[in-house]
């Protein structure tokens, strides 16, 4: 257990479904990140939240919608996904803006779009 | 701009042999460097980090890494690997503020 908890661990959804991924940390961190990890591809940074404000959106399609209601929780809302969106989605957190500590990662949600 | 390059996408090795996973970084300012390990269907777990001071950094599971400023490298080493070390390894770097930049990953496969 790293201190960053992601649920669910596995998710299978149809292309017309709406689902949400959840990430929770109680480490006192105030920066949170969503990464996408596809087979044989580098880690892709999707979104960065700092003090509950979105500070980075790396050209992610609008079918992915992040939400950060407070510094402990981060969601990724999914709708009308495509099969190529199947991947491992990783959440991470860090003390705000300080790379000194590195990131703490959750175990990920394995998403399969059918 | 900060960039991190892992020179090998896959490294096969036999059990009990030594291994080195290579990482180069580019930066014009002081950097913090990290190695993470990822087991199948898991998140990334911190192995070790270099912040300052001694250039030889020891981490968990018997791994160590050496910071070499002149060669802008931060290679990961283990003198004798086990089957359980089979995983993907990521090098990452960052400056004082901002994001960590990750390398492309190296898949280490330990054969019996």
Write the pLDDT tens digit of every residue in A37-63: 998 788 999 999 988 888 777 789 999
Q: Does B46 touch chain A (CB under 8 A)?
A: yes
**Distance, CA of B98 to chain centre:** 20
Q: Is residue B28 very low, low, confident or very high in pLDDT (cuts 50, 70, 90)? A: low
Lowest average pLDDT, out of A14-18, B11-15, B56-60, goes to A14-18
Give the residue among A113, A18, A37 at the shortest CA–CA distance from A75.
A18
The pLDDT, as a whole number, for residue B30 is: 67
Query: Residue B17 is encoded by which pair of tokens?
Result: 């042999």
Question: What confidence score (pLDDT) does residue A40 get?
Answer: 79
Q: Is A100 helix (H, G, I), strand (E, B) or coil?
A: helix
Is A55 near chain B, with CB under 8 Å? no
Name the percent of chain B in helix, strand, coil, to the closest 5.
5, 55, 40
Nearest to A42 among B46, B98, B102 (CB): B102
Mutate to test the interface with B, among A99, A100, A104 (most CBs of B within 10 A): A99
For residue A103, pLDDT over 70 is answered with yes
pLDDT band at A97, cuts 50/70/90?
low
Integer Cα distance of A45 and A91 in angstroms: 10
Q: Using CB atoms, which residue from A42, A99, A104 is nearest to B32?
A: A99
Structure tokens at B4: 């991190």
Average pLDDT of chain B to the nearest whole number:
92
Is the CB of residue A38 less than 8 Å away from at least one CB of chain B? no
How far apart CA B46 and CA B90 sit, in angstroms, is 9
Sole residue written with tokens 């399609």: A61
CA atoms within 13 A on the CB side of B12: 2
Partner-chain residue, chosen from A97, A104, A105, that has the shortest CB–CB distance to B97: A97
Mean pLDDT of B34-56: 92
The number of residues making up chain A comes to 114
Region A64-87 average pLDDT: 95
Q: Do A99 and B94 touch (CB under 8 A)?
A: yes
């Amino acid at each position: 257990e790293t201190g960053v908890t992601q649920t669910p661990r596995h998710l299978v959804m149809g292309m017309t479904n709406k689902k949400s991924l959840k990430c929770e940390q109680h480490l006192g961190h105030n920066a949170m990140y969503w990464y996408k990890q596809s087979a044989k591809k580098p880690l892709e940074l999707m979104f960065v939240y700092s003090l509950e404000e979105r500070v980075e959106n790396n050209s992610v399609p609008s079918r992915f919608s992040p939400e950060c209601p407070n510094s402990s929780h981060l969601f990724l809302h999914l709708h009308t996904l495509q099969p190529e969106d199947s991947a491992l989605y990783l959440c991470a957190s860090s003390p705000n803006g300080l790379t000194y500590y590195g990131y703490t990662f959750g175990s990920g949600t394995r998403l399969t779009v059918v | 701009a900060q960039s991190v390059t892992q020179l090998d996408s896959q490294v096969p090795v036999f059990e009990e042999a030594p291994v080195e996973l290579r990482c180069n970084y580019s930066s014009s300012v002081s950097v913090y460097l990290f190695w993470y390990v990822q087991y199948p269907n898991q998140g990334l777990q911190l192995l070790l980090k270099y912040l300052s001071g001694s250039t030889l950094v020891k981490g968990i599971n018997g791994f160590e890494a050496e910071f070499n400023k002149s060669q802008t490298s931060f290679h990961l080493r283990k003198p004798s690997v086990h089957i359980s070390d089979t995983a993907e390894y990521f090098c990452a770097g960052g400056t004082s503020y901002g994001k960590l930049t990750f390398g492309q990953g190296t898949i280490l496969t330990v054969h019996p």
